[in-house]
Amino acid sequence: MNKYIKLNLLKPMLVFSILIAFSSCKQHEEKNTMTNILVEEWTGPYEGLPAFDKMNLNDIKSALEIGMQENLKDIDAITANSESPTFENTIVAMEKAGETLERVQNYYGIWSANVSSPEFREIQGEMAPIMSEFSSKISQNTALFNRIKTVYDNSLKTPLDDDQQRVVKLIYEGFAMNGAELDDEKKARYAAINMELSSLYTNFSNNILADEENYAVFLTEDQLGGLSESMTKSMAKIASEKGQEGKYAIPNTRSYMSPFLTYSSERELRKKVWENYYSRCDNADEFDNNENIAKILKLRKERVGLLGFDNFADWRLQNRMAKNSENVMNLLNQVWEASTARVIEEVADMQAVANADGANITIEPWDYSYYAEKVRKQKYDLDSDDVKQYLQLDKLTDALFFVAKEVFNYKFTPVPEGSVPVFHEDVKVWEVTNIDSGKHVGLWYLDPYARKGKRSGAWATTYRSYSSFDGEKNVLASNNSNFVKPAPGEPVLVSWDDATTFLHEFGHALHFFSSEVRYPTLNGGVRDYTEFQSQVLERWLSTDKVINQFLVHNKTGEPMPKELVEKIKKASTFNQGFSTTEYLASAIMDMKFHMTDPTNIDVDAFERETLTEMNMPKELVMRHRTPHFGHVFSGEGYATAYYGYMWADVLTADAAEAFRESPDGFYDKELSAKMVKTLFAPRNAMDPADAYKLFRGRDAKIDALMRDRGFPVTE
């Protein structure tokens, strides 16, 4: 999941999970908050809504300053309390604090991820160190930490309610892990490192966006071989917007790169598009990220060294399901051996097809998708473009709602256009209600299309999370994709992989909507567990009920033929060598970078040499090459945590087998209710390992994952 995570500065575990820690800000004169829409309380229906339609970039700096100022006042009120620290006067007070800044951060996140501009990026670069300085003022507040520690120590003697105990533990560990117990000299250095890192992260992510915007490949009409009509129409529109009327543009984003490599018959152009995409931020120019990465790695190691850890990985993994780097590497290496062996078989199949076609080539990375598609047709008589004709975005959206109804008991109803403020005309909104009770659960925002200023990939986020300790708050959740916007009147047709991703991100949204926690901190998550809820939802795409009702031909309206369905299911493990290996390469590199001594690191050389030692197949590359690995280097949410997708997929495959073993399959009402109650509703209110045992009656086993991918299971 590629997502931005809004920074709720008074919910420490959310802040510490991404570790763009903020610290003490400059004092500013009091401002009239009524003149700045970004700091105002949300008004209107649905318990108040963000005023996305009134966002003004000129307001963001002052809004952040006002929010930080009020946040510090909230902290001062807690530490000035003369009463002995208790759960209510310390922990609950922290859960309530910082509401203004939290509102502002929602707008800030929208600008950053969905509608960025050069003007915003300038502000972002200016504010990053100021915000970092602010956050350390909270995370290193000795008086505040002493109160937290007192509550924590007392809870060990006289336990609180289970969820209260969990909140105290998470907050205490979050502060301790981030230097609250350091001496003054080390605290100062810790804060300085965080400030420098915040600027590096901002620069890293902005460089990626710049390279995506600055590079494009322009084609003429005679170079469109193999491409679909809908894609070429979209390419023509983009070329026209770039001043190249009569040509066709391939923007430097995955949403265009991937289908072009799959279908284009122009090999040299495939190579050019491939090189543009995978060399992002690795071109020895002003947007090159290698120096940023080297600095980030050194600063991360120095920072955890202040806490007594040898490397960043050891520090990061202590409160994850994996616990340590040895457990992570054991899992990744076990699957790596099987996936790379499968790549050898896949390449041999592709080379045979190329030879039979008289191509006189050796398979290269820019050939993999193109010839894999030919092999798919040959082995399974399955054409991906044929499948796409049945995968319409609007019908897939209906499929999401059907699964939400059948499994989660939710109803999605579109709100009247204009009744809910949105930040772009492409954004649509639905009301979510519980079918049995009729209770309003929240709103779901969908922002489906790629555009300039929007970061690539797909992600989910919340504008407001559920909690009940201070009155129930309904959920405002968003899914964001980068589908190619079609010409007017044309359907949006997507690949099977993109359809799967669409369900994946919706799984995150359903996780948000299912929350039944009392305290905001419990809406956080354990990184190698939070992908489970999204990955498990992917499994409903291939169920008969979804296929038969929603996968209909875009022109005839006929349901997908049974023969095509059988071909899809038969080919479910096809190309698993490629998809698993490209992912694992990135996950392993993430771990290796954070387990090594980065003192004199040459980032490009380290990537190249490490992959060589791993026997990385030369016919493919990492899913995210290091210079544009935003998961890991534009923040810390996925640093030494990208492995979490695989860790969570072990749980996913195991849970899916529970549904397959049921007489009613994936529509077993009792099993669905159990899954929602034990694995969705608690969020982070209990240890994930304990939650999974409640659902399955045992720990998850890797066997199901290996079977899913068509790999041999080791006895």
| Residue 623 resides in a domain | yes
pLDDT at 399: 98
pLDDT at 189 over 90: yes
In CATH, what number is assigned to the domain containing residue 704? 1.10.1370.10
Would you call 619 helix, strand, or coil by DSSP?
coil
pLDDT at 389: 96
| Residue 523 resides in a domain | no
Q: Please tell me whether residues 17 and 143 are part of one structural domain.
A: yes
Q: Cβ(99)–Cβ(32) under 8 Å?
A: no
Domain holding 243, by residue range, is 215-278
pLDDT at 3: 31
The mean pLDDT of the chain is 93
pLDDT at 207 over 70: yes
Residue 297's closest CA among 545, 652, 599?
A: 599
pLDDT at 689: 94
Q: How many whole angstroms separate alpha carbon 511 and alpha carbon 523?
A: 10
pLDDT at 512 over 70: yes
Once rounded to an integer, what is the mean pLDDT over residues 648-655? 96
Q: Please tell me whether residues 146 and 221 are part of one structural domain.
A: no
Q: Please tell me whether residues 590 and 693 are part of one structural domain.
A: yes
Ordered DSSP codes for 74-131: HHHHHHT--SPP-IIIIIIHHHHS-HHHHHHHHHHHHHHHTS--HHHHHHHHHHHHHH
pLDDT at 456: 87
Query: Between 319 and 289, whose confidence is greater?
Result: 289
Q: Please tell me whether residues 173 and 272 are part of one structural domain.
A: no
| Residue 455 resides in a domain | no
pLDDT at 424 over 70: yes
pLDDT at 6: 30
| Residue 401 resides in a domain | no
Q: How many whole angstroms separate alpha carbon 715 and alpha carbon 702?
A: 11
Q: What is the 3-state secondary structure (H, E, C) of 659-693?
A: HHCCCCHHHCHHHHHHHHHHHHCCCCCCCHHHHHH
| Residue 49 resides in a domain | yes
pLDDT at 473: 87
Q: Angle formed by the axes of helices 576-595 and 290-306, to 10°?
A: 60
Give the pairing of strands 440-449 and 459-464.
unpaired
**pLDDT tens string 536-552:** 999 999 999 999 999 99
Q: How many whole angstroms separate alpha carbon 44 and alpha carbon 319?
A: 40
Cβ count within 10 A of residue 506 = 26
pLDDT at 486: 87
**Single-letter code of the amino acid located at 262:** T
Give the number of domains in the chain.
Answer: 3
Q: Please tell me whether residues 165 and 219 are part of one structural domain.
A: no
Query: Between 637 and 373, whose confidence is greater?
Result: 373
| Residue 505 resides in a domain | no
Domain boundary pick from 163, 181, 199: 181
Token pair for residue 618? 């030369």
Q: Please tell me whether residues 94 and 48 are part of one structural domain.
A: yes
| Residue 635 resides in a domain | yes
Q: Please tell me whether residues 42 and 170 are part of one structural domain.
A: yes
Q: How many whole angstroms separate alpha carbon 363 and alpha carbon 115?
A: 39
Confidence of residue 15 (pLDDT cuts 50, 70, 90): very low
| Residue 565 resides in a domain | no
Does this model's pTM top 0.75?
yes
In CATH, what number is assigned to the domain containing residue 83? 1.10.1370.40
Confidence of residue 579 (pLDDT cuts 50, 70, 90): very high
Give the pairing of strands 459-464 and 475-483.
antiparallel
Q: How many whole angstroms separate alpha carbon 125 and alpha carbon 118?
A: 11
pLDDT at 31 over 70: no
pLDDT at 350 over 70: yes
Q: Please tell me whether residues 68 and 118 are part of one structural domain.
A: yes
pLDDT at 34 over 90: no
Q: Please tell me whether residues 167 and 91 are part of one structural domain.
A: yes
Q: How many whole angstroms separate alpha carbon 37 and alpha carbon 43?
A: 11
Q: How many whole angstroms separate alpha carbon 246 and alpha carbon 649?
A: 45
Q: Please tell me whether residues 175 and 228 are part of one structural domain.
A: no
Confidence of residue 317 (pLDDT cuts 50, 70, 90): very high
Q: Please tell me whether residues 26 and 103 are part of one structural domain.
A: yes
pLDDT at 430: 98
Q: How many whole angstroms separate alpha carbon 299 and alpha carbon 131?
A: 18
Q: Please tell me whether residues 613 and 681 are part of one structural domain.
A: yes
3-state helix, strand, coil in the chain (%, to 5): 60, 5, 35
pLDDT at 715: 59
